[in-house]
Structure 1
């Protein structure tokens, strides 16, 4: 799919730009905007994201004249358009005429206009009005040569994580009927004989609104599934209307990394390309690791296909308690990080800084203070640099040899209430393992258990409490085929309905791991008040094969009581109630090895265990011998190296610098400096892996630039 327009200046380059909101400014400023965009190297803008009230001033009446002029101006200036459907924020007339489209919280309180995203995703009225708007926009612009991509809605669910309105009630009942077929199946899945919750019909079921005490966990899990599905239905409705209008350009909606309400793993197949919004915090000196985690997550959603960084900040934000500016050079370094981890588009929120409204203090490419600013100079310099880049290879199979298991439904189940250890932060636990691998310059994919396959040497599965039969089968096959599996505590506890299986815990993976779980051994949270009694930590350590030693480390949150049935003990607890009991075990299974770690190690302990399993699985870093503040990422035959603000470092890379064209044999990178290098011996046109993946029938295109510029 793709339109027929080719943009000669951008077809073979990373796209560069921002959200453009011309309706915030007088029309006489628009030509200057386009001129400045060209000066800054902008090649594409996202247009119309919050323009519903301007496009449709009242029901049944559309004003496209202003949007025609803007799109034509951009096209004349050689700037492509990622055209939004404008459905993210209904105008005031919509809720005044149809208050039933407004969402409600669990207490029945209505979310009123005056902000954004004030709509119930399951509301038939909202969907009708949004559909009429989308059809009108798509029919008018589907063949406009400036439009190279469609941007559906915006950050689905960002502020309204769950809706409990009557529209949601009715839709939830229909959703349950479709899922379970009859109410007896629902009663069985939810275990409704407990607390006299048994239903006689779906009409008796309500959303999990405010209740005296804990909600049914099966109902809560299903309501999260329902919420994600309702948001996805809105996306699919708009996508289908765009296609019905004859549009052939790729269609996307902007994700937000590890965003709990929407199961992006299920969404990704419905997007022609993945796009993402990412805002690392400059106050956190290690925020670049969290940003790398997010890049790897969104890249992993559509393997071997580039993605687009749809939003980031040029400098300071406005919505955190403290909104620090980025250091000089940090914005470009983080942009290079996205490219190195698979992005073929670098965009910002927004082009021109707002003069009024809630985000007027949010930085932009063109600051309110004008062009005599560091922000403008850095934004323009980055545009010039990106224009010098040639076409980059798509992310390739084998770039990452390590997988971290990341699963939305498991996330929902682990963070539910009434557990042995409540208040566990699933993403924080996953990111701790990611940081340890990142410090060792090991590239990672983040995938559900069912996608842990032979492309990986090592799979790490933290807190995999909800395990479906297909998950267990995939992990078992992975180990049998020669993979190394490290499973953390609270693994294989419940089924997909959040129910215990017959036979206790570890009923599906226990034989592979060679252990039996008796008790979860909750510890006092490390940050609990000092006066709260109980064990906070579970020290562990031990001797490894070949005489190596796993130095004493600290476990937190859980210290499980496990029994070895057919496994070697690599580390034991050395303090507290479990002294001498197994903490880390290993079992040879088929051609691989399965390990079980019975606690959540702290940062130091996580690093120690990671070093152990990397050595056992013979996983090498992308580039060896680097300090921790230097980041490297592989993309086919291209390696990106970045110094994230530390001392000058030597990077032993040899090849061609793709920005300057110079031959390099070792790099010296000062603070915030970066380079993108095609390794020596690689073909100028890209790697063999890139050529192979380019022919895969499931791909929309070999790279996002090709999708946007000339189609597939």
Structure 2
């Protein structure tokens, strides 16, 4: 079985290389500069389908031959892509039925990438054919390090609603359910009398009056993920007919909501991810850390690859802010700290044409007499010094539950409040843990949780009975569980679990919820800890909690649930389960909506909510609320026995990877981190009891 790619110089460094955009004399300059910067791996061929197959079943590999030979001569290895995310113009003209159709039934144009139906049999045949021809020709090429199938599955064509997709969806349902009665039972079609008599009557969730069957919508999302995975498998199989090198594709964690990356993770030999900083987000570095931790978790804790990020500005955000001096280095090394064995960019040389001509690059339009280029060269030297880090792992005592299906279900229409957003709650809890210098893994609720002292469930609206039993066993065996409101409510079909809320979590939490009381826009309630210290502000939500075996820890002091529990703890077996019934004030403000530049599958960087990681006034309440969510987490972390570093400023990122301690200073002042003894990999400095990190600087200490 192929494993992690073997690279010559430790950590991989480079990016997407698109030499077909440039005359051949520029290629010689490119490889010279790559050597100067320490580049050892480039991704080639992502968008050249129309160049290597200019007409159907007519191939021209001359240019690609010369490119790969040149890179090999200069000692630069290649991640060779199948170019199937961007079908040629001739393909969509010859097979017009392969074009993408949106929810409104509009056939979309094709002068862009991802402009095809993922269920199209013509696309399946053509993409497999070009993958076979590539693999057959280049499987033995000495420059080749690995294979890169497609590019960013689900970027713009996560879902298609054409007649071909509709028939494929019906076939998927037949295989999943067996008979139409099982579909009706799962979707609850007796509601509004929408019972189906046969599979042929089912259509995808096209644009319709509000109130579509939610089970139908969830199954269409699952079908769409399976369709993209099937396309990947087809090309992977084509490659493996000729090559045993590792095969991957680039994920977009966490910013591609439609793709369930827990499902995807088993399909790739190495998890690779693209991450682009939300330039306007006040806590963009925390969002980056969350993305890296989630990517490592999807990889099962194994090292992963940062396949794309940016040296500076991107081209698709509303305001594309360039990175400040030192920010690109901090971004890159933060990914390495959290498990990446590569630092790669989109792209090597900035494009002069097309939609991404204002996207930054390793070689910017300003050329090599630029701050960006000098930073690129310096980063290459840093990564050379960090070669001993390669292959090591990050260990975590705390896990945060993340389930893409719960993400989908929570954000369907007609929930109790429009302010219920999956990323808002997860981001709030993650940010508070980050500021406590707690490194976390992300887990699916059905995963083995025994390695963790604390498991946090910020947004587990959809939770199966099996997953709930898994959480119950975890607590009884000595684990500590912290659950946020509106969790455990529905099963995998978005059907309410029987009995009082919170459904399948009633027993482990030792309570029930009589009624939800969502708050008005910008509304707040006051929550008072039992310890008698200053109260906290709650946002978004309040509810009538009835304790059974649980003990009230905090109480609503006002609002619709005044006098009733706001935070509870249930001692169960050898562990404890905590519950918080409102959105406690977050220190410094947590991001809203999907934020963080999150995509919705219909556009790169499209956001909802307040978007782009922006904070609203309510989220700024942390500065007036010194206890809040972070205070609760301190209490729970202490109770669970999770140790944290003492005396470290909160804007210093501290991550241990194997024997190496990464210290990343996001402040504009020098900071001293106590308790550090060892040798600095980047500067050779010996630290004896503490390490001082300059403003915006990074230290990596072998302890």
TM-score of the two chains, using structure 2 as the length reference: 0.92
Which of 337, 340, 344 is the aligned partner of 1:340?
337
In structure 2, relative to structure 1, the CA distance for the partners of 1:566 and 1:486 (3 Å cut) is same
Distance in 2 of aligned mates of 1:143 and 1:551: 68
**8 Å Cα contact 1:550/1:608 also seen in 2:** no
Distance in 2 of aligned mates of 1:304 and 1:487: 24
Q: Does residue 1:632 correspond to 2:654, yes or no? A: yes
Deviation of the 1:634 alpha carbon: 1.5
Matched positions, count:
660
Which of 620, 629, 635 is the aligned partner of 2:643?
620
Q: Does residue 1:668 correspond to 2:692, yes or no? A: yes
For 2:672, what is the secondary structure of its paired residue?
strand
Which of 466, 470, 473 is the aligned partner of 1:470?
466
Q: Does residue 1:654 correspond to 2:651, yes or no? A: no
Distance in 2 of aligned mates of 1:656 and 1:269: 37
Distance in 2 of aligned mates of 1:283 and 1:112: 31
**8 Å Cα contact 2:303/2:393 also seen in 1:** no
Deviation of the 1:559 alpha carbon: 0.7
Q: Does residue 1:382 correspond to 2:382, yes or no? A: no
**8 Å Cα contact 2:419/2:540 also seen in 1:** no
Which of 513, 523, 528 is the aligned partner of 1:541?
528
Residue 449 of structure 1: aligned partner: 445
Distance in 1 of aligned mates of 2:502 and 2:631: 25
| Highest RCO, 1 vs 2 (Cα 8 Å, sep ≥ 6) | 1
**8 Å Cα contact 1:403/1:452 also seen in 2:** no
Q: Does residue 1:426 correspond to 2:422, yes or no? A: yes
Distance in 1 of aligned mates of 2:104 and 2:482: 42
Deviation of the 1:3 alpha carbon: 9.6
Residue 149 of structure 2: aligned partner: 152
**8 Å Cα contact 2:11/2:390 also seen in 1:** no
Correspondences of 1:270-285 after superposition (within 5 Å):
270-285=267-282
Residue 566 of structure 1: aligned partner: 549
Deviation of the 1:624 alpha carbon: 2.6
Residue deviations 1:246-281 (CA, integer Å, cap 9, x gap): 211111111111121000011101111111111113
Q: Does residue 1:592 correspond to 2:615, yes or no? A: no
**8 Å Cα contact 1:390/1:658 also seen in 2:** no
Residue deviations 1:129-172 (CA, integer Å, cap 9, x gap): 11111111111111212111111111111122321111210110
Distance in 1 of aligned mates of 2:158 and 2:515: 34
Deviation of the 1:462 alpha carbon: 1.3
Give the root-mean-square deviation of aligned CA atoms.
1.6
Distance in 1 of aligned mates of 2:6 and 2:570: 56
Deviation of the 1:662 alpha carbon: 3.7
Deviation of the 1:180 alpha carbon: 0.6
Distance in 2 of aligned mates of 1:4 and 1:511: 43
For 2:239, what is the secondary structure of its paired residue?
helix
Which of 5, 23, 27 is the aligned partner of 1:26?
23
Which of 400, 411, 423 is the aligned partner of 2:396?
400
For 1:577, what is the secondary structure of its paired residue?
coil
Distance in 2 of aligned mates of 1:234 and 1:551: 56
Residue 191 of structure 1: aligned partner: 188
Deviation of the 1:501 alpha carbon: 2.6
For 1:233, what is the secondary structure of its paired residue?
helix
Deviation of the 1:5 alpha carbon: 10
Which of 106, 115, 135 is the aligned partner of 2:112?
115
Residue 416 of structure 1: aligned partner: 412
Deviation of the 1:112 alpha carbon: 1.1
Distance in 2 of aligned mates of 1:521 and 1:486: 21
In structure 2, relative to structure 1, the CA distance for the partners of 1:226 and 1:240 (3 Å cut) is same
Distance in 1 of aligned mates of 2:63 and 2:24: 8
Which of 559, 569, 573 is the aligned partner of 1:576?
559
Residue 693 of structure 1: aligned partner: none
Deviation of the 1:63 alpha carbon: 0.8
Distance in 1 of aligned mates of 2:26 and 2:126: 31
For 1:369, what is the secondary structure of its paired residue?
coil
**8 Å Cα contact 2:484/2:581 also seen in 1:** yes
Distance in 2 of aligned mates of 1:228 and 1:356: 32
Residue 140 of structure 2: aligned partner: 143
For 1:509, what is the secondary structure of its paired residue?
helix
Range 199-208 or range 608-617, more displaced? 608-617
For 2:273, what is the secondary structure of its paired residue?
strand
Q: Does residue 1:171 correspond to 2:154, yes or no? A: no
Distance in 1 of aligned mates of 2:655 and 2:686: 19
Deviation of the 1:353 alpha carbon: 0.5
